[in-house]
Amino acid sequence: MRQKLAAGNWKMNGTGTALAELEILTQAHGHSGAQILICPPATLLAPAAQITKTTAIALGGQDCHAAASGAHTGDISAEMLKDAGATAVILGHSERRADHGETSDMVCAKTSATWHAGLTAVVCLGETLDQREAGETLAVIGSQLAASLPDGASGSNTVIAYEPVWAIGTGKVPTLEQIAEVHDFLRAELSTRLGAETANAIRLLYGGSVKPGNAAEIFATSNVDGALVGGASLKASDFSPIIAALEAS
């Protein structure tokens, strides 16, 4: 059985005062049945780790460099994220792909680095609206998956997040049929590459405008093992009912 996962991506939001939200979440869900992963800005990882340390809530980074250390001004390695308290790293988010020109080959190298540091990679994939309207969704997702994932993926080192670019931060959500089509496709592609047993152990998250009001129906969708949540993870009062919906699913 895959453990359900509610992941929150704070993006470039939050200074020290935002940790009050993590305190509330920790009190309510510190020993939750679902796994909870919060990915705050890297500047907040160390103080966040103090808040979550005696709980089951895990912390993650939002990106890392492919190298462990070196002359890369402004970058952060997976080892550094681990040292600050992270157990996972979001990689290949569409905002990184768009803002920083990250290719799937770069995501692949970062995924290897993440595994090397002993962290779980949350690898993001998603089509643009143009690609969806051109009927290219599965082709795009298939090629992103193939190129972003190094050999050696397993249920413990990898989570895949399907995040349609046009659904992120827009309030637009694919139909449940569209989500199921992509998640079933991802499971089948993973199975072809890794074998059914390994493929069945890898969690597949949906991300893009997940809110308290739509979470339950998304979690009831085929091959959806949880969510990667942006805006609605910033406030405990929004994220908490999403966690509750996941636990009830």
Q: Is 176 helix (H, G, I), strand (E, B) or coil?
A: helix
Near ligand PGA by CB under 6 A: residue from 61, 150, 208, 226: 208
Near ligand PGA by CB under 6 A: residue from 79, 127, 163, 225: 163
Listed ranges 17-25, 142-150, 208-216, 238-246: which one lies at the site for ligand PGA (CB under 6 A): 208-216
Residue 127 makes contact with ligand PGA by CB under 6 A: no
* Least distance in angstroms from the C-beta of 215 to ligand PGA: 11
Query: Of 103, 38, 41, 114, nearest to 77 (Cα)?
Result: 114
Residues touching ligand PGA, count (CB under 6 A): 13
What would the two tokens of residue 206 be? 């949906």
Is the Cα torsion angle 21, 29, 60, 125 positive or negative in sign? negative
Q: Is 78 helix (H, G, I), strand (E, B) or coil?
A: helix
Give bridge partners of residue 162 from the DSSP assignment. 125, 206
Task: Tell me the C-alpha distance between 46 and 20, whole Å.
Answer: 14
Residues 6+ apart with CB under 8 A from 175: none
Q: Is 181 designated active site?
A: no
Task: Tell me the C-alpha distance between 233 and 14, whole Å.
Answer: 11
Listed ranges 80-88, 97-105, 189-197, 227-235: which one lies at the site for ligand PGA (CB under 6 A): 227-235
Query: Is the Cβ of residue 18 or residue 67 nearer to ligand PGA in the bound state?
Result: 18
* Least distance in angstroms from the C-beta of 73 to ligand PGA: 26
Residue 209 makes contact with ligand PGA by CB under 6 A: yes
Residue 144 makes contact with ligand PGA by CB under 6 A: no
Q: Is 93 designated active site?
A: yes
What would the two tokens of residue 187 be? 């499971």
Residue 168 makes contact with ligand PGA by CB under 6 A: yes
Q: Could you list the residues that contact ligand PGA (CB under 6 A)?
A: 9, 163, 168-169, 207-210, 228-232
Residues with catalytic function: 93, 163
